[in-house]
């Protein structure tokens, strides 16, 4: 299956389109369990969990077509992006939104939800 990405840079694409074949994989919002971790480490934890869940579903990072990121404080934006940018495969950046929001627990700094399509 061909995933077409437009206006792609290292962080995101402005548009992602794909034929309606393959299997849609929807992940829940994923958070870190580490109450003492900073935003960068929580992002590392979250993306590792996403890797595991994608693998279980028969998908991989290159199959991600959209991502939603919630930060408890936008001051964490640069730390999260440093980890995100290193994690996203070159040429496969999904469409993405990142907003500030009150998360479920006070220690949470980052929550990420992704959608992927297996080939």
pLDDT, position 119:
76
CA–CA dist 65, 17 (Å, integer): 8
pLDDT tens-digit readout, 68-100? 999 999 999 999 999 999 999 999 999 999 999
Which residues, given as ranges, of the chain have pLDDT below 50?
none
For the chain, domains (ranges, CATH) are 4-118 (3.30.1330.40)
pLDDT, position 1:
64
pTM above 0.95, yes or no: no
pLDDT, position 39:
99
């Amino acid at each position: 299956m061909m995933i077409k990405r437009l206006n792609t840079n290292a962080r995101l694409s402005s548009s992602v389109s794909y034929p309606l074949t393959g299997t849609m994989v929807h992940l829940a919002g994923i958070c870190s369990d580490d109450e003492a971790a900073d935003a960068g480490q929580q992002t590392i934890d979250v993306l590792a969990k996403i890797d595991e869940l994608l693998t279980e579903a028969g998908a991989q990072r290159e199959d991600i077509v959209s991502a939603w990121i919630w930060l408890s404080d936008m001051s964490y934006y640069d730390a999260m992006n440093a980890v995100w940018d290193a994690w996203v495969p070159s040429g496969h950046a999904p469409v993405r939104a990142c907003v500030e929001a009150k998360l479920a627990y006070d220690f949470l700094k980052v929550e990420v939800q992704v959608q992927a399509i297996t080939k």
